[in-house]
Structure 1
Amino acid sequence: MPEEDPIKTAKEGVSVVAEIIKAAGDDPSVKEAAGNLGKTAVTLTKTINNALLPLAAINFAFDKARKYFSSQFQQDLTDKAKNIPEEHIVQPKASVAGPTLQGLAFTHDEANLKEMFLNLLATSMDGRKADIAHPAFVEIIKQLDSEDARLVQGTLKSEAPIPIVEIHTELKNGKGQEIQLRHLLNLKITSTGQPVEDSKLAAMVDNWIRLGLVKVEYDKFLTEPSHYSWVESRPEYKRLCDSLNNDERKVEYTRGIIYRTELGKRFAAAVGVN
């Protein structure tokens, strides 16, 4: 295949830059980015301009979306896709790009969801791995809230199962168990190691299960006892012991595991969870 005519490429690049500047108005950051386009950036910008901005325009009816797509979107996506070699930049499938841009229109001010949508778009533009950017992943992101998107990443990053427990009271008269708290994970502040409570955690885990990202099993567990040594120091467990332990019942817990599914693994790769 003959090399692309450099004059033609330059003219097209200038045309694209003009269109971006026009779309961006007076935004200096976009003008600066447009003025520093290299060969790869020209190809990338052409793809964004020709394939994505027209789709984004569908969402311009929303004031916040109009401002974002006309000023910041091009730079955000360029940052995500800048390491794709020029020869591997492809036009993303409309079945992925269209719904993703719609999702961005509503969530661009929520950092965790915005990151997932932008990374999914960048994946769909990389010919080396565009096939993993499945349209279903757009719907999965849409069914996460920002806290979901932040917390699920820990499980999706892990190649090994993660310990999880279910706290229950064991009735001493032999009449069975009463579940008190489901899907407890050892959430901590990274910088201090202090435990963090989240009243929505059990519901979030159920949502991840429903979406097919993870599985939770309580008939299997990690055999090394140290994997569950954190449970009895958790504030949730201590509080339940203080309020429920008596002559009739005792607070105990069931060990389990949570791990990513194959769908979860592929989703993680597509949305940049490494």
Structure 2
Amino acid sequence: MADEDPIKAVNDGISIVAEVLKAAGDAPQVKEAAGNLGQTAVTLTKTINNVLLPLAAVNFAFDKAKFYFSSKFQRDLAEKTKKIPPEHIVEPKASIAGPTLQGLAFTHEEPNLRDMYLNLLTTSMDGRSASFAHPAFVEIIKQLDSEEAHLIQGVLQASLPHPIVQVIRTLKDNAGYQLLALHVLNLTRLDTNEPLENKRLPAMIDNWIRLGLVEVTYGTHLIDTGVYSWADKRPEYLRLIVEPQPAGAKIEYEKGVMRCTDLGKRFAQAIGLK
């Protein structure tokens, strides 16, 4: 890329200063720090107090971000964009590039999130796919943690809906039910393929629903019920069926479906999953 390219300018550690300071808002301490970012080490070693904590966090992020953009960013971006024919490379929209670079400043040490940001930036630089990039996708990535970013990839890449279950306690005479375990998926260990329980998963899926990436429904299920054969072997279910239950109550699992939304499909395209 040419020397005057704005991405190169960021790579030299210029634009990232404004982006990181912007993330901290208009606090007077931040404005004052803008004139002397070299005080990072001093700020971080001062007595911790509520006023200086935000400033310390910003300067800490800036210090590490500056190293990344000056030493690794160009290589990472070159690797991502190497398959784009030169005639199709375009300047990314500022509404994509600016927030994406800001996000990279804080997450470049987390591979799952870093790849999402870099893939989104690459999409916005490819004239054949730039229309798939949307400023909202930067905000979606910002609201995922590294583990979520890893797990959601499998969901977004799938061409078919995912079987999902919730474990319930049905009361005597069908007087109602109690929800005991929500959003159970067939997670397994990579090395042994044994069931793996992740207690954070229900909250993660709720977050994906909130972000509009997936939708989950119970009471309806996939036609091939064999895709739920794993449900009665899940630790979430096995742990509950051995517990004492009220008279007449029983533990069951209710089949459901998790689907990728249209927004989720477009997001998947934008970050290189489809």
TM-score, length-scaled by structure 1? 0.80
Change (3 A) 1:52 1:64: closer
- The SS at the match of 1:258 is strand
- The SS at the match of 1:243 is coil
- The SS at the match of 1:165 is strand
Pair 1:49-2:8 in alignment: yes
Partner of 2:126: 126
Work out the CA distance in 2 between the residues paired with 1:117 and 1:189: 27
Greater mean alpha carbon deviation, residues 146-155 or residues 169-178: 169-178
Work out the CA distance in 1 between the residues paired with 2:199 and 2:129: 37
Work out the CA distance in 2 between the residues paired with 1:222 and 1:237: 20
Work out the CA distance in 2 between the residues paired with 1:246 and 1:50: 67
Amino acid at match of 1:248: G
Partner of 1:252: 252
- The SS at the match of 1:56 is helix
TM-score, length-scaled by structure 2? 0.80
Pair 1:115-2:75 in alignment: no
Work out the CA distance in 2 between the residues paired with 1:258 and 1:101: 32
Partner of 1:106: 106
Shift of 1:57: 4.2
Work out the CA distance in 1 between the residues paired with 2:94 and 2:11: 9
Partner of 2:68: 68
Partner of 2:169: 169
Shift of 1:195: 1.1
Shift of 1:51: 7.2
Partner of 2:201: 201
Shift of 1:234: 0.8
Work out the CA distance in 2 between the residues paired with 1:257 and 1:244: 29
Amino acid at match of 1:80: K
Work out the CA distance in 1 between the residues paired with 2:75 and 2:234: 43
Change (3 A) 1:182 1:225: same
Work out the CA distance in 2 between the residues paired with 1:266 and 1:49: 28
Greater mean alpha carbon deviation, residues 98-107 or residues 171-180: 171-180
Greater mean alpha carbon deviation, residues 78-87 or residues 189-198: 189-198
Shift of 1:248: 3.2
Greater mean alpha carbon deviation, residues 231-240 or residues 172-181: 172-181
Equivalent residues in 2 for 1:1-274, closer than 5 Å: 16=3, 46=5, 48-49=7-8, 54-58=14-18, 59=20, 61=59, 62-245=62-245, 247-274=247-274
Structure 1 residues without counterparts, runs of 5 or longer: 1-11, 20-45
- The SS at the match of 2:179 is strand
**Percent identical:** 53
Shift of 1:245: 4.1
